Structure 1
Amino acid sequence: MAATLSTRDTPPAPVRSAPAAPGRRRARPAARLSPGRLGVYAFLLTTAVFFLLPLYVMLVTSFKPMEEIRLGQIFALPAAPTLDAWAKAWSSACTGLECGGIRGGFWNSVVIVVPSVALSILFGAINGYALTFWRVRWAPPLFGILLLGTFIPYQVMMYPLVRAFAAVGLFGSLPGIVLIHIGFGMPVMTLLFRNYYAGLPAELFKAARIDGGGFWRIFFQLMLPMSVPITIVAVIMQVTGIWNDFILGLVFAGREHLPMTVQLNNIINTSFGEREYNVNMAATLLTSLVPLAIYLVSGRWFVRGIAAGAVKG
């Protein structure tokens, strides 16, 4: 009986909480708005407004008729939105003596960009691969010359290139402007791919050589499939650079292959009739749609490609 009572009177053992799982992290307290954090937010907000405000003005102006634009309220939303300015900029705006809009310039830019981007990236990848893994004779001086080519302005070589292309019959032709973009883009592409390949394990190349792989087989079956991140970076850089080019297209493309940027300049600088600001804004937005779409769609892969080795070596 006593034993029974003593057992009942014994206080219960304290309940211990189960230990936290080793892979689970403790919840962090909510971050407070420190002065430094407020300063960062204020800087980012100011920068965003600085860059987005001109885009907002261009966008709302392109949807306004000229009657609203004459009121001078550039920040006001359009009272009667219309797409007439966009249609005119695309198909019937005057680009000098012709009034066909920038539609022709768009397709000219596409025809110029596609082969220029593909060939400049291919040649840059081959050069970077050869300079990294193969003991090419005079490789350091050659790489130095290519690297020097990335810092030489276009204007320095403009006149000699015009004379050389005119002598061989390529001046003012589509192959001529494509060759110009390939030549000016290849040094940067070589630098990108060379630095990327320098970050890859050399054992992969040595193993492929032991298995009997040659120069082209190793490049196409091993190196090129591993170059997807840096290839995306190269495509973004080349497409945006060639699409936004003005001076090379103006000088070397000829009248029949003028790119979209040159057509845009002709629309804005037309000196006869009323200056239609809504058409100018719509034409500017149409010209910038391709680079803007590329950055919005592939911006994440651009950052990944840079982090994967574009700045290594």
Structure 2
Amino acid sequence: MTLAVAIPAGQAEARNAWWRHLSSRTAIYAFLTLFALLYLLPLFVVIANSFRPLPEITQNGLIWWPRSLRLGAWGEAWSTMCVAGTCAGIQRNFYNSLVMTVPATIISTLLGALNGYILSKWRFRGSEALFACMTLGVFMPPQIALLPWAYILGKLSLSNSVAGLILIHVVQGLSFATLFCRNYYVAIPDDLIKAARIDGAGFWRIFRRIILPLSPPILIVTVIWQFTGIWNDYIFGMVFTSGREQPITAVLVALATAGQQAAQFDVASSAVLIAALPPLLIYFLGGKYFVRGLTQGAIK
């Protein structure tokens, strides 16, 4: 004799809803995992090939799990790798990028904070139009500025120099820095500034004592944004510098396009990872502050 147990309609509906929820969640996670693996595959290939011996890469192909580890490619990439006829590694170009990026980031961030302070708290006739003109730089492709910059650098005798690249990136970065800081400072109460002015504080004192202490979230966002963008820039370094004055990004592109060096996948992968270390370090150290700063600015 077979006994049939009747399941209440409410329980059956709840069970079906649970299975639908589980199926949809599983499909979403599977979809996201697939795209994450596809996105991380190039990084895995570069990291793995930087430790694989060149004969193993040649025999098994680029995409393969390392069977043995070799650290010599990192030293070769740093000090002996040949690029464009010069066998001195990427160390000089790495230092060029560092010398270019750090001061350009600091100067453009400070100028952007000052511009944002003026355009938000010391409004004058035409300030909104000036701000609109400055933010146009956010949407202008850098190729438009190549000819004007070539003329300016020639007149200032800064052609083919790291100092010339610093000047370019300071000016080019002002649009983003001003936009970030101005939108953040608008949320600071105007009454706070008026009270400081009544107490006798002037322009610079208000900036130092009131604005800057309230600025760390947006300054961190701007520094990370500027550092990453300047370090990864290729077009200005490739057009306005050559040889030993080039930043690391221009050298990596030259390495990728050099036919006689294309087979040195181990050394090239190590060079790519060395060049990627500073932005990755900035991201890991300040990534959570970057998201937090952007969120605070959006909410305000």
What TM-score do you get using the length of structure 1 for normalisation? 0.85
Match of 2:80 in 1: 92
Find out whether 1:192 has 2:180 as its counterpart. Answer: yes
Q: How far, CA to CA, are the matches of 2:84 and 2:241 in structure 1?
A: 17
Shift of the 312–140 alpha-carbon distance from structure 1 to 2, 3 Å rule, reads: farther
**Range 201-210 or range 92-101, more displaced:** 201-210
Deviations 1:125-159 (A, max 9, x none): 00000000112232011111101111111111211
Q: How far, CA to CA, are the matches of 2:86 and 2:231 in structure 1?
A: 22
The alpha carbon displacement at 1:278 in A equals 1.0
Shift of the 53–208 alpha-carbon distance from structure 1 to 2, 3 Å rule, reads: same
Find out whether 1:60 has 2:60 as its counterpart. Answer: no
Q: How far, CA to CA, are the matches of 2:261 and 2:61 in structure 1?
A: 23
Find out whether 1:43 has 2:31 as its counterpart. Answer: yes
Match of 1:266 in 2: 254
1:169 maps to which of 154, 157, 176: 157
Find out whether 1:301 has 2:289 as its counterpart. Answer: yes
Q: How far, CA to CA, are the matches of 1:168 and 1:58 in structure 2?
A: 40
Match of 1:181 in 2: 169
Q: Is the CA contact 2:256–2:262 (under 8 Å) kept in the aligned structure 1? A: no
Match of 1:4 in 2: none
Alignment map for 1:183-262 (pairs within 5 Å): 183-262=171-250
**Range 123-132 or range 294-303, more displaced:** 294-303
1:83 maps to which of 71, 88, 95: 71
Letter in 1 for 2:270: A
The alpha carbon displacement at 1:73 in A equals 4.1
Q: How far, CA to CA, are the matches of 1:104 and 1:278 in structure 2?
A: 20
Q: Is the CA contact 2:96–2:248 (under 8 Å) kept in the aligned structure 1? A: yes
Deviations 1:82-132 (A, max 9, x none): 011111111110111111111111111111011100110011000000000
Q: How far, CA to CA, are the matches of 1:157 and 1:244 in structure 2?
A: 18
Q: What percentage of residue pairs aligned between the two structures are identical?
A: 42
Q: Is the CA contact 1:62–1:86 (under 8 Å) kept in the aligned structure 2? A: yes
SS in 1 for 2:64: coil
Q: How far, CA to CA, are the matches of 2:54 and 2:101 in structure 1?
A: 35
Point out the structure with the larger helix share.
Answer: 2
The alpha carbon displacement at 1:67 in A equals 1.3
Q: How far, CA to CA, are the matches of 2:19 and 2:232 in structure 1?
A: 42
Find out whether 1:124 has 2:109 as its counterpart. Answer: no
Q: How far, CA to CA, are the matches of 1:76 and 1:160 in structure 2?
A: 47
Q: How far, CA to CA, are the matches of 1:143 and 1:274 in structure 2?
A: 47
Root-mean-square deviation (CA), in Å? 2.0
Q: Is the CA contact 1:91–1:102 (under 8 Å) kept in the aligned structure 2? A: yes
The alpha carbon displacement at 1:170 in A equals 2.0
The alpha carbon displacement at 1:257 in A equals 2.3
Letter in 2 for 1:202: D
**Range 192-201 or range 43-52, more displaced:** 43-52
Q: How far, CA to CA, are the matches of 1:274 and 1:135 in structure 2?
A: 56
Structure 2 unaligned runs (5+)? 1-17
Shift of the 202–128 alpha-carbon distance from structure 1 to 2, 3 Å rule, reads: same
The alpha carbon displacement at 1:277 in A equals 0.9
